[in-house]
Structure 1
Amino acid sequence: MTQQPAHSRILTDVIDPARARALQATLGLPQTLEAGSALPPFFHQIYFWDAQPSAQLGRDGHPAPGDFLPDMGLPRRMWAAGRLLFHAPLKAGIRAEKLSFVEGVTRKSGRSGPLAFVRLRHDIRQRGAVVLTEWQDLVYREDGGTAEHPPARSDAHHREPLHVDTTTLFRYSALTFNGHRIHYDAPYATQVEGYDGLVVHGPLLAQHLLLLGERMLQRPLTEASYRATAPLTLPQEAELCWADGAAWVRGPDGVQCMEAVMR
């Protein structure tokens, strides 16, 4: 029986191959996954939904804090970074269990005002063994304010275009059961949270980078980490870039939107 830490939750799911094929279609990949197939890296994001009634959602469409996630007293929540250890393949068609717990909470003061960081750890088990360990860093901040966006590296050995449209955002939100309004509600994204347009999901960018890394390394990944550095908003175009085990998303005007390191 799984030992459950304090301030934690357990979610279970059968890793439906039809949902995985739907993500392949959304990403423009051949729909090849069947029961028993090993999932590509990061495909676990479309499982283990935390489905809450509308009355229990915050203004942003996310489940309101205060239950599993702590209430940090700041209205804007973003996925800032993550790290993954791939112990064994996560296979389609087999029941899996995800144990999540809050590993740490910190507060800081930035140029845009107070910030709060929450680190989550997730252990995904299948047939009694941990197949994936993931850490997620969430950042909370006040409304308004601006941040400096770093320039992307210019030493890419490989580049390919990344095109995302509103249909892609809708389908990825649906597959991940992500109700965050910045991905589909343009007035909310621009007028309330201050973005230039609809925001491309950070996990969707990470998904593209990890798939790129697996193609470039020509083998399954054993470890990956990523960090969001600037938002990518529609209708902006971007590039996926690769050099020596590192990948990044190069956005408009050479801005780096996300970076990742894989092995």
Structure 2
Amino acid sequence: MTENVQTLNDVIDPARARAMQTLLGQEATIATEDTLPAFFHQLYFWDPQPPSRLGRDGHPKVGGIIPNMGLPRRMWAGGRLEITAALRAGVPAERRTILEKAERKEGRTGKLGFVTLRHEIRQEGKLCVTDWQDLVYRQDPDPDAPVPVPPEARRDEVARESVTFNSTLLFRYSALTFNGHRIHYDSDYAKTVEGYNGLVVHGPLLAQHLILLAENQLGSVRNFAFRATAPLLHSEEATFCWRDGIAWVRGPDGRQCMIAAASS
């Protein structure tokens, strides 16, 4: 790994993909050489680090490919996918990650750090998926700061699906993606350190449901972009909605938790 580039390899284990199908309530059918559903690449290319190289939040410490900007709270704010070929289970793959952007800014809630990573995933030398990942780093919460008001979600969907979450499901998704972020399984940490009202549903898990909804409507998805707009807690039911190439997550109180655009 150079300072701004990291390369990881994986064999795209079909058993892990079947476990993900089970987590999503699907029949576990994926076998070697089968194509993966869109966004299942999140299950692969683990980068395990020893405890001494983990931050307080359970993520690997910054200072490698992601520079240390002195901001302790990490959030996966969104991303964008270009899918040129479906990944195949059981076939070796390479992910090359490039740091595209890392900058600090002043926001209404204080200092912010914005990071964009570009992941290029190849099988047999062919570029299959380009995945831009947008991360935001923030200061610790100020108890006296005003609470952000989330946007209201649309109610004009033509297709919808309701999904409930719980702490077991979040734990299993964390295990499948090797995501150590404690806001997804450590309630005390999520509340007392990061200022949430409970465990937080993973942004990419919400995006996974949205892209599957888009696939059901379009037949296939080649381009997908999503942005998180408010956290969803593990105790809340979410409604995944679709209309005219736009997909979104509506919380039980009507707030918009995520919005996405998809095309085939």
The whole-number CA distance in structure 1 between the counterparts of 2:31 and 2:148 is 43
- Which residue is equivalent to 1:204? 205
Letter in structure 2 aligned against 1:136: Q
Pairwise CA distance, 1:154: 1.7
Pairwise CA distance, 1:228: 0.3
Q: Is the 8 A contact 1:124 1:131 kept in 2?
A: yes
Alignment of 1:205-220 (within 5 A): 205-217=206-218, 219-220=219-220
The whole-number CA distance in structure 2 between the counterparts of 1:178 and 1:224 is 22
Q: Is the 8 A contact 1:5 1:101 kept in 2?
A: no
Q: How many equivalent residue pairs?
A: 259
- Secondary structure, counterpart of 1:172 in structure 2: helix
- CA RMSD of the aligned region, Å? 1.1
The whole-number CA distance in structure 1 between the counterparts of 2:148 and 2:41 is 30
Aligned with 2:111 (options 107, 114, 121):
114
Pairwise CA distance, 1:6: 5.3
- Which residue is equivalent to 2:253? 253
Pairwise CA distance, 1:124: 0.2
Indicate whether 1:27 and 2:28 are aligned.
no
- Which residue is equivalent to 1:243? 243
Mean Cα deviation higher: 51-60 or 108-117:
108-117
Aligned with 2:126 (options 111, 126, 129):
129
Letter in structure 2 aligned against 1:148: V
What TM-score results when the alignment is normalised by the length of structure 1? 0.96
- Secondary structure, counterpart of 1:252 in structure 2: coil
Alignment of 1:104-183 (within 5 A): 104-145=101-142, 146-183=147-184
- Which residue is equivalent to 1:73? 70
Pairwise CA distance, 1:244: 0.7
- Note the residue ranges of structure 1 that are not aligned, 5 or more in a row: none
Letter in structure 2 aligned against 1:238: A
Aligned with 1:14 (options 2, 11, 14):
11
- Which residue is equivalent to 1:221? 221
Q: Is the 8 A contact 1:209 1:247 kept in 2?
A: yes
Alignment of 1:182-197 (within 5 A): 182-197=183-198
The whole-number CA distance in structure 1 between the counterparts of 2:2 and 2:179 is 25
- Which residue is equivalent to 1:54? 51
The whole-number CA distance in structure 1 between the counterparts of 2:64 and 2:214 is 36
Mean Cα deviation higher: 107-116 or 47-56:
107-116
- Note the residue ranges of structure 2 that are not aligned, 5 or more in a row: none
Percent of aligned pairs with the same residue?
Answer: 58
